[in-house]
Structure 1
Amino acid sequence: MTQDTSLRFREFKMPDVGEGLTEAEILKWYVQPGDTVTDGQVVCEVETAKAAVELPIPYDGVVHELRFAEGATVDVGTSIITVDVAPGSGEAAPAAAAAVPAAQTEASPVAEAATETATEAATETEEAKPKGRQPVLVGYGVAESSTKRRPRKQTGAPEQTPVTAAIQAEMNGHGAPTAPRPLAKPPVRKLAKDLGIDLATVTPTGPDGIITREDVHAAAAPAPAAAPVVPEPVAAPEPVTAPLASGARETRVPVKGVRKATAAAMVGSAFSAPHVTEFVTIDVTRTMKLVEELKADKDMAGLRVNPLLLIAKALLVAIKRNPEINASWDEANQEIVQKHYVNLGIAAATPRGLIVPNIKDAHDKTLPQLAESLGELVATAREGKTTPAAMQGGTVTITNVGVFGVDTGTPILNPGESAILAVGAIKLQPWVHKGKVKPRQVTTLALSFDHRLVDGELGSRFLADVAAILENPKKLMTWA
């Protein structure tokens, strides 16, 4: 009896790994066709507009096909990998699973035209098979479906459409054009068209013979001028040296992923919330001494203790004294939403761009617990493992520009938040202390706030409280 191929080949679709995300870029594949995979095994890493996330496969079986190459941006709900859950049964792959590899699909006009047909066939196959476990984020497990559907019966081999037949013919070498189309991604083709370059004349340097942007620019660069032909007695002039392609004056980097999301968020925030920024320069010598004392405290052993820890604690205490500053503006309902919790955001620079993960319910944490949370947040961000959930729901943010030697700045609010505190570099400077000029540890704080939510009095009082605690950290014991 012939096995139903719709039950044998499972399509793993790109899941929504955040809240309402529509696409993700495949950063890296951890498996290749022919590899054996098990339920829950991580098969690839993808980057969304929020963060990089590892995806586990919800099936046991053998990888049949990777539908997209690394670097491809894929819409949520699109099949990215096919798994043979019954290897060795001898059945042929369904028509949808016989799609051309990413590079060939991109290079072939016939294959490009067949993309929608193949996707629709894969969708029908997905709907026909039982609904099992759905792909989720690493660490959250998978849930069993409470309902099952009866699979459709197939009376024969899957029907081959004219388009898929053309693809198969091209793959087998039958009916293929005498001059195969050069391999290049759509943006590269557009660049070549804009520069008037025939891709057939370009020498590819990319993997699998794919033409890159650099190849097109190299082809567009002027060739070295040839020496003119002159009579023998006359000395030929020195040849003119043309600029090398490697010395290009510009480099274009696609805006996507975290950088694209950050740019959109900052523009939206800057032009929707009326920003006001206030500054204060303070003596933090006592805070720096307390940092050294805490490093030697047995209760803080093994924890990351630095000035940011005490600045965060000072901010939380100031919010407790001025709770109205911890709010958000609900434009749709024309309401001010007062937050009775603090999800403290910490701006972190990563190779993929600026992200702002937050510490949930930071207001309830003791100093050791806050130190532990800060350490985990920084380590996770540096490894590129921050999850989308960690960057949602923030209420107030700290950005430490001082680590770059900058005195201060005028930070833009993280969308949906009421305030952000920028901390400048802590430097030894002359300062009047007890009536005498002495070298003291000094820094400048800058507080930006949404003037719809926070008026000048509230903003000034809040910033003054943060400054007072950092100038005299003993206030933590009486104000906390």
Structure 2
Amino acid sequence: MPTQKNVELPDIGDFDAVDIIEVLVKVGDTVNENDSIITLETDKATMEIPAPFAGKVTALSVKVGDKVAKGDLILTLESESESAESLEETPESAQPVDQNSKSSLAQKNVELPDIGDFDAVDIIEVLVKVGDTVNENDSIITLETDKATMEIPAPFAGKVTALSVKVGDKVAKGDLILTLESESESAESLEETPESAQPVDQAKKDVASEVVTNIDEKNETFKEEISLNPDSNFHASPSIRKLARELGVSLSGIKGTGKKGRILDEDLKSHVKTLLENGTVVEEVEVIPLSRIKKLSGKHLSKCWSTIPHVTQFDEVNIEQLEKFRKHQKEKNIKLSPLVFIMKAVVQVLKRHPNFNASLDENAENLILKKYFNLGIAVDTPNGLLVPVIKDVGKKSLIELSEELAEVSLRAREGKLDSSEMKGAGFTISSLGGIGGTQFTPIINAPEVAILGVARTQIKPIWNGSTFEPTSMIPLALSYDHRVIDGAEGARFMAELNQVLSNIMEMLL
């Protein structure tokens, strides 16, 4: 007889309350063992929870938006377990589906293969879960280095019995990824008797019908309706579901071409393309994962912006004299960018305002004054913003700074900087002068307490006492931590920087 059985949330790791973002079944649905019933989302990943046994949904205890923890009731199933137990008690009346494969199952570990010269690589997506059946070369995890993302395939087919990694872990060559229950020995016995073997594609086609036929012929009381692509319960991985939500596309209208009607990446893309051609979707979109550098810098900048009380001081500096000097040097084949002059001027002013060349300790209770003058210089790269550090700026000439800055910026854009080259700054300069814009508000690079933003030089009419004359003016924006530096001190710093930059002779002293 059918019995009512509760399905509770199993142990999903160190999470107290997890959001339900999808309920994949409704009352009246019939689910098979391991069919997905709900989708959960943590701050790191999405995951589907499978049914622990087959049955008919008689009650739902959760809805989208609920938070659940281990042991919480999800739904109730009307299960045919008693009928199944009676079959176990009379094995002579049942025919094994595949006695040979049953006795030849083996647990095999899948380790990370050699992926090149990487010691530790981030896992950004786990594409399978315990209970999934994977084919050889099916993707199981996605990795991301500072240069590319890559999917790692299964080296052989089998059923996932254990996962040893999660999103956010770092892995290296030889690390255990998961364990598969493999039928390799059964496969070997088939190879030894090729005359009895069936073509692989045809064998896959007949698996479902063979199972149902065997059960029906031997026990009329144990029947189960199997649908490889039921309209009421579509199958898709968490990454596909997430992409569909971002695109605003319902998966219910998509016919999956994967195993058991699973919706694949190409199925979703084809569906969206059809919608676009029919005019259903107004604009096409593309979802691009953030690079590792942008993810890391994004978290850091968000923390800096939310925890530091920023004040930004704006000014414009007359650099007409500086520009004439640069032009004169260029005629002698000496190329100097305005940035190297700004670097020298900043160091000169920092010596008189040590609170700007400092950092706060971890408790934000002590100010650490730095006696050296190392400047972080923000560099735009294809993978995101990097801040290499130019050391001992005050001890180097304009020409030395220009050559070092060009060399470091090139290696930053090529992704060849060492992590040690981005540490030890006391003050940072972010220059957008080569790109454009009139002003911007730079975000302080904690634990530093100040940063200077430099925009594009403009020619403006400036009154000289008797007439207006065209003058090179450079916009500056000084952001500082108001816990350390007050407005008056910030204004004095900017005024002195203005004076040094506008008088080339004072800078060269």
TM-score w.r.t. length of structure 2? 0.55
Residue 498 (structure 2) aligns with: 467
Amino acid in structure 1 at the alignment position of 2:251: G
1:277, CA displacement in angstroms?
A: 0.6
Q: Any stretches of 5+ residues in structure 2 without a counterpart?
A: 1-110, 126-142, 166-170, 192-199, 208-227, 230-234
Q: CA RMSD in A?
A: 4.4
- Is the CA contact (8 Å cut-off) linking 2:390 and 2:405 kept in structure 1? yes
Deviations along 1:45-92, whole A, 9 cap, x unmatched? Answer: 9734xxx5xxxxxxxxxxxxxxxxx6138xxxxxxxxxxxxxxxxxxx
Correspondent of 1:409 among 440, 443, 463: 440
Structure 2 residue 240 is matched with structure 1 residue 188: yes
Residue 242 (structure 1) aligns with: 278
Correspondent of 1:103 among 153, 157, 160: 153
Correspondent of 1:217 among 251, 265, 269: 269
Correspondent of 1:284 among 310, 319, 322: 319
Structure 2 residue 265 is matched with structure 1 residue 201: no
1:350, CA displacement in angstroms?
A: 1.6
TM-score w.r.t. length of structure 1? 0.58
- Is the CA contact (8 Å cut-off) linking 1:281 and 1:444 kept in structure 2? yes
What SS does the aligned partner of 1:474 have? helix
What SS does the aligned partner of 1:416 have? coil
Compared with structure 1, are the counterparts of its residues 192 and 409 closer, same or farther at alpha carbon in structure 2 (3 Å cutoff)? closer
Residue 47 (structure 1) aligns with: 145
CA distance in 1 between counterparts of 2:321 and 2:313 reads: 23
Correspondent of 2:307 among 263, 269, 272: 272
CA distance in 2 between counterparts of 1:252 and 1:166 reads: 38
CA distance in 2 between counterparts of 1:347 and 1:450 reads: 19
Relative contact order, CA 8 A, sep 6+: which one is greater?
1
- Is the CA contact (8 Å cut-off) linking 2:431 and 2:455 kept in structure 1? yes
What SS does the aligned partner of 2:314 have? strand
1:289, CA displacement in angstroms?
A: 1.1
Residue 150 (structure 2) aligns with: 72
Superposition map of 1:421-440 within 5 A: 421-440=452-471
Amino acid in structure 1 at the alignment position of 2:150: A
1:297, CA displacement in angstroms?
A: 5.0
Compared with structure 1, are the counterparts of its residues 289 and 167 closer, same or farther at alpha carbon in structure 2 (3 Å cutoff)? farther
Higher strand share: 2
Residue 122 (structure 2) aligns with: 23
Amino acid in structure 1 at the alignment position of 2:314: F
Correspondent of 1:116 among 152, 164, 173: 164
CA distance in 1 between counterparts of 2:175 and 2:273 reads: 49
1:103, CA displacement in angstroms?
A: 3.2
Deviations along 1:143-193, whole A, 9 cap, x unmatched? Answer: xxxxxxxxxxxxxxxxxx993533676798699854899999751365469
Residue 369 (structure 1) aligns with: 400
CA distance in 2 between counterparts of 1:359 and 1:243 reads: 54
Superposition map of 1:434-453 within 5 A: 434-453=465-484
Compared with structure 1, are the counterparts of its residues 187 and 450 closer, same or farther at alpha carbon in structure 2 (3 Å cutoff)? same
Amino acid in structure 2 at the alignment position of 1:403: G
CA distance in 1 between counterparts of 2:452 and 2:321 reads: 20
CA distance in 2 between counterparts of 1:162 and 1:385 reads: 36
Residue 165 (structure 1) aligns with: 182
CA distance in 1 between counterparts of 2:326 and 2:374 reads: 23
1:113, CA displacement in angstroms?
A: 3.9
Structure 2 residue 413 is matched with structure 1 residue 382: yes
Residue 64 (structure 2) aligns with: none
Compared with structure 1, are the counterparts of its residues 361 and 124 closer, same or farther at alpha carbon in structure 2 (3 Å cutoff)? closer
What SS does the aligned partner of 2:149 have? coil
What SS does the aligned partner of 1:404 have? coil
- Is the CA contact (8 Å cut-off) linking 2:357 and 2:369 kept in structure 1? yes
1:12, CA displacement in angstroms?
A: 6.2
What SS does the aligned partner of 1:313 have? helix
1:474, CA displacement in angstroms?
A: 0.7
CA distance in 2 between counterparts of 1:198 and 1:103 reads: 29
Q: Any stretches of 5+ residues in structure 1 without a counterpart?
A: 1-8, 27-44, 53-69, 74-101, 128-160, 205-209, 225-240
1:349, CA displacement in angstroms?
A: 1.6
Amino acid in structure 2 at the alignment position of 1:163: L
Residue 347 (structure 1) aligns with: 378
Amino acid in structure 1 at the alignment position of 2:153: A
1:359, CA displacement in angstroms?
A: 1.1
Deviations along 1:399-448, whole A, 9 cap, x unmatched? Answer: 11222221111111112111111112111110012543111111211100
Compared with structure 1, are the counterparts of its residues 125 and 218 closer, same or farther at alpha carbon in structure 2 (3 Å cutoff)? closer
CA distance in 1 between counterparts of 2:388 and 2:185 reads: 48
CA distance in 2 between counterparts of 1:168 and 1:350 reads: 52
Compared with structure 1, are the counterparts of its residues 449 and 422 closer, same or farther at alpha carbon in structure 2 (3 Å cutoff)? same
CA distance in 1 between counterparts of 2:257 and 2:154 reads: 18
In the alignment of these two chains, the number of paired residues is 335
Structure 2 residue 343 is matched with structure 1 residue 329: no
- Is the CA contact (8 Å cut-off) linking 1:347 and 1:399 kept in structure 2? yes
Structure 2 residue 292 is matched with structure 1 residue 257: yes
- Is the CA contact (8 Å cut-off) linking 2:461 and 2:470 kept in structure 1? yes
1:202, CA displacement in angstroms?
A: 4.4
- Is the CA contact (8 Å cut-off) linking 1:104 and 1:111 kept in structure 2? no
Compared with structure 1, are the counterparts of its residues 441 and 312 closer, same or farther at alpha carbon in structure 2 (3 Å cutoff)? same
Correspondent of 2:343 among 312, 315, 323: 312
The structure with the largest alpha-carbon Rg is: 2
- Is the CA contact (8 Å cut-off) linking 1:344 and 1:360 kept in structure 2? yes
**Identical aligned residues as a percent:** 27
Amino acid in structure 1 at the alignment position of 2:405: L
Residue 391 (structure 2) aligns with: 360
- Is the CA contact (8 Å cut-off) linking 1:195 and 1:220 kept in structure 2? no
CA distance in 2 between counterparts of 1:252 and 1:404 reads: 26
Compared with structure 1, are the counterparts of its residues 370 and 192 closer, same or farther at alpha carbon in structure 2 (3 Å cutoff)? closer
